[in-house]
Amino acid sequence: MLRLNKVQIIVIFIFIVSIIFILRVNKTSVDDTKRSSDCFVVNEGKNEKVNVVFLPYGYSDNKKFLSDIDMYINGEFGFKNLEPFKSNFENINFYSVMDSNVKCDVVDNTIICDELSTRSAASRCPNDYIIVLYDRDSIKDFIVPIRSSAYLNLASINTADDPLVVPHEFVHICCNLADEYVEEGITIDLSRFENCDVETCPRWNFFNGTGCYQGCGEINFYRSIETGIMRNYLIGKEYGSWNEYLISRYIQ
């Protein structure tokens, strides 16, 4: 029978304890990674037509982040209650990632989030479109207001703004709608943005509930609604019938 001296026993004991410690550390690391990379289902429809991922920036409280998401989805002017999303709500899936490590910056008074970090975070969920919510203090924003932005499939949102800022920016990235206000130095391509038209508005003059109002991106182009979400969402609380039709083509 093999006999071990005290030194050998101590060495073996230390070795076993070390192995157990390493295994426990590795298990903890794996579990933490799993928790931090979870994709949370906020609202899942019956179809997989459109997948939207919400990411946080500047939040210190996940509960506030989830509360803001709920407002943008289920609030008075949320997706669930705003046409044409209301009629197509089952086609839209909403997800969120809590620990996103998103990088954002304010450039020329506009919040712009980094494309690489947002895509990396959103990749944990099914994603067609990404909405980053920047938790902005309303008093600070009153003193120094900043604008939200939309680029490719990414919307960077100032949460201190009106709730309709999300529907406004979202249709920029999902449905190719242009801003319907006029801003100096901005030019638009009419072949790309169908919510603007030339004088007499041949694109929608046959469409019920439309008009032909000057000013749509550029002063010499025209829009279908006098004051809607795409012109001034502080006043207009709907897209207008023509814009609803255009949006519906992407979410039906």
- Percent helix, strand and coil across the chain, each rounded to 5? 35, 20, 45
- Position with higher pLDDT, 4 vs 120: 120
Given pLDDT bands bounded at 50, 70 and 90, which one contains residue 33?
very low
pLDDT over 90, % of the chain: 78
Give the pLDDT confidence score for residue 17 in this predicted structure. Answer: 44
Task: Break the chain into its structural domains and give their ranges.
Answer: 40-175, 178-236
Return the CATH fold of 40-175: Collagenase (Catalytic Domain) (3.40.390)
Per-residue pLDDT of 176-195, as tens digits, reads: 999 999 988 888 999 999 99
Query: Model confidence over 202-231: pLDDT tens digits?
Result: 999 999 999 999 999 999 999 999 999 999
Cα separation, 82 vs 70, in Å, equals: 14
pLDDT tens per residue across span 79-112: 999 999 999 999 999 999 987 789 999 999 999 9
C-alpha separations of 133 from 4, 67, 70, 169 in Å: 64, 11, 12, 12
Report the C-alpha gap between 193 and 223 in whole angstroms: 11
